[in-house]
Structure formats: structure tokens, C-alpha cells
Amino acid sequence: MNKRVTVNTLMEMKQRANKITMLTAYDYITSSLLDELGIDVILVGDSLGMVILGHETTLPVTMEEMLHHTKAVARAAKRSMVVGDMPFMSYQISVEEALYNAGRFLKEAGVQAIKLEGGEEICPVVFKMVKVGIPVMGHLGVTPQSVHQMGGYAVQGREEQAAKKMIADAKVLEEAGAFAIVLEKIPSELAKKITQTIRVPTIGIGAGPHCDGQVLVTQDLLGMFEKFIPQFVKQYAKLSNDIRSAISSYIKEVKAGEFPGEEHSF
């Protein structure tokens, strides 16, 4: 069996300009496939709330829902690093509560790291987690848990001041001990600047080609999530259509008495 991807592996990959691949999973089957295919990092994103649970935003997702799905993902992943996404209000109230909840991801769900959204304001939390041995992935740019504060999901960091602030946030996250930072929906040139400025890897989603790695929501990549398709998504398949066709055939054959056939019967 290949050795588990660790924070050191990701750091070495950045140094060797070896691109990091990350995808989301929320269940055992998807996680098994991603692990088998050699994805470096599997993120159990709080996008769970929208993609799997049907919420309008990621805000309603609870710790219990995240842990439930993360356990299934972690059971399947033997080589990939599994990162648990901390849901809204599980790390913002106090450092103590944040530590307790992050600890649950490691102790109960079996992840190797957690992710949380935000810059300078969450650095005390990041610092403390790293101090007690919990690897932390940061997340800047569009931070979906702040959708109401941002007034939507528009590209972040277009203005000079906002870009400067994001570079500063990336630096302080690195100083606090974050081992990687997700950059979501920001201009490519800004992502390039951040990637060149910090030593830890950047992982982009809608942040152009210069990041040290890329992440997408797996259901977006597979063409399964049709509610909206962000511009930064490339659909490598149209699985929704395949599912429609397969289920329609099943319905037709059952109604016509064609399934089950001799070969499926005892």
C-alpha cells in the first residue's frame, strides 16, 4: 500500500512544482474511488449542505452531519489525506469550542486535518490548533460561510485594497501554522502572487492555473449537480444524463416484465 499523503508530502510537492490534486467526497464509495485513483487530498466539504442535503447555502450544516459523512469518507481513504471542513459556527465562538470541535474530527471521524474559512480574525484559533497537533488548512477569497456578509459569491480581491488584505491574510495564516490555503474565486494574478509569496501550498478553485494545486466539488466535475454550474467548473462527464437513461430503462423494463430475466432469477 502507498504511504499516506501528509502535510510534509504536500510541502515537498510545492517545492518540486508537483501539482496537488484535491476533490470533495461525502460518502464511502466516492472516497474509495478517489483514493484508488491517487487523489492527494479528499475534502469532506461543508458543500455537503448544498450538494447532498439540498440546502440553499452551507450555513445550516451541523457538526453531527459533517462527522457522520466524514467517518464514511475516512473509512475508505487509505492513501489520500482526508480533510474535514469545519461547519459554520463550530469554530467562531471561542478558541475552546473550536479546539473541541476540531478534535472531534480527528478523534471520532479519523481525518488527518481540518479546514476553516477566514483570515487574520481566525489566526488565534489556527495557532492554538496547530500547537496541539491539529493540522489546519485555511480558506480565503470567496468564503461561502460568509455569503451574507459578501452579498453573494462574486469574485473577491479585484480591488487593490482587497488584494493587499488577502495577501496579508495568507501570510498571517502561514505564520499561525496553516499547512495549505484554499483560494476560492479570485483573480489568477492575485492567486499567483499569493502562491509565490507564501511557502505553504495554495489550492485553487476558480483561482486560475498558478496555484500549487486544484480542487473541485466532485459532483460538479462529474456533471451531477445541475442546480447551478459555476464558470470555473469543467464537467469531465455528464453523469446526470447517464443516470436518467439507466433509471428510465429500469422503469421501462420492470413495467414491461423484462426485468428480472432468467439470469437474475433463482
CB atoms within 10 A of CB 102: 26
Could you tell me which of 9, 47, 13, 16 has the C-alpha nearest to residue 219? 47
* 47 annotated as belonging to a binding site for a ligand: yes
Among 76, 111, 126, 215, binds ligand KIV (CB under 6 A): 215
Q: Rounded to an integer, what distance in angstroms lies between the CA atom of residue 44 and that of residue 30? A: 11
* 96 annotated as belonging to a binding site for a ligand: no
Helix axes 188-197, 160-176, angle to 10 degrees: 30
Query: Dihedral of CA 36/140/66/133: which sign?
Result: positive
Residue 182 interacting with ligand KIV (CB under 6 A)? yes
Could you tell me if residue 225 is left (phi over 0), alpha (psi between -120 and 50 degrees) or otherwise beta? beta
* 227 annotated as belonging to a binding site for a ligand: no
CB of 46 to ligand KIV, least distance (A): 5
- Chain residues 39-98 in contact with ligand KIV, contact rule CB under 6 A: 43, 45-47, 85
Q: Any residues with CB less than 8 A from the CB of 29 and at least 6 apart, and which?
A: 76
Name the residue whose CB lies closest to ligand KIV: 45
Quote the DSSP letter at residue 133. Answer: T
Could you tell me which of 218, 198, 227, 222 has the C-alpha nearest to residue 210? 198
CB of 237 to ligand KIV, least distance (A): 19
Number of residues forming the site for ligand KIV (CB under 6 A): 11
Q: Which is nearer to ligand KIV, 176 or 207 (CB)?
A: 207
Residue 205 interacting with ligand KIV (CB under 6 A)? yes
Q: Which helix (H) or strand (E) holds 184?
A: strand 180-184
**CA 42 to centroid of chain Cα atoms:** 7
Catalytic residue among 64, 184, 258, 263, which? 184
* 160 annotated as belonging to a binding site for a ligand: no
CB of 158 to ligand KIV, least distance (A): 20
CB of 47 to ligand KIV, least distance (A): 3
CB of 178 to ligand KIV, least distance (A): 14
Q: Rounded to an integer, what distance in angstroms lies between the CA atom of residue 212 and that of residue 96? A: 32
Among 114, 217, 222, 224, binds ligand KIV (CB under 6 A): 217
Ordered alpha helix ranges (H), the chain:
7-15, 28-37, 48-51, 63-76, 95-104, 123-131, 147-150, 160-176, 188-197, 218-221, 239-255
Q: Rounded to an integer, what distance in angstroms lies between the CA atom of residue 74 and that of residue 98? A: 21
Residue 126 interacting with ligand KIV (CB under 6 A)? no
- Chain residues 12-31 in contact with ligand KIV, contact rule CB under 6 A: 24
* 115 annotated as belonging to a binding site for a ligand: yes
CB atoms within 10 A of CB 35: 19
Told to judge if 159 belongs to the known catalytic residues of this protein, a careful annotator would answer: no
Residue range at the interface with ligand KIV (CB under 6 A); choices 27-35, 38-46, 161-169, 246-254: 38-46
Residues serving a catalytic function are 184
Per the annotation, where are the binding residues?
46-47, 85, 115, 117
Q: Please report, as ranges, the residues that interact with ligand KIV according to CB under 6 A.
A: 24, 43, 45-47, 85, 182, 184, 205, 215, 217
Per the annotation, where are the binding residues for 3-methyl-2-oxobutanoate?
46-47, 85, 115
Per the annotation, where are the binding residues for Mg(2+)?
46, 85, 117
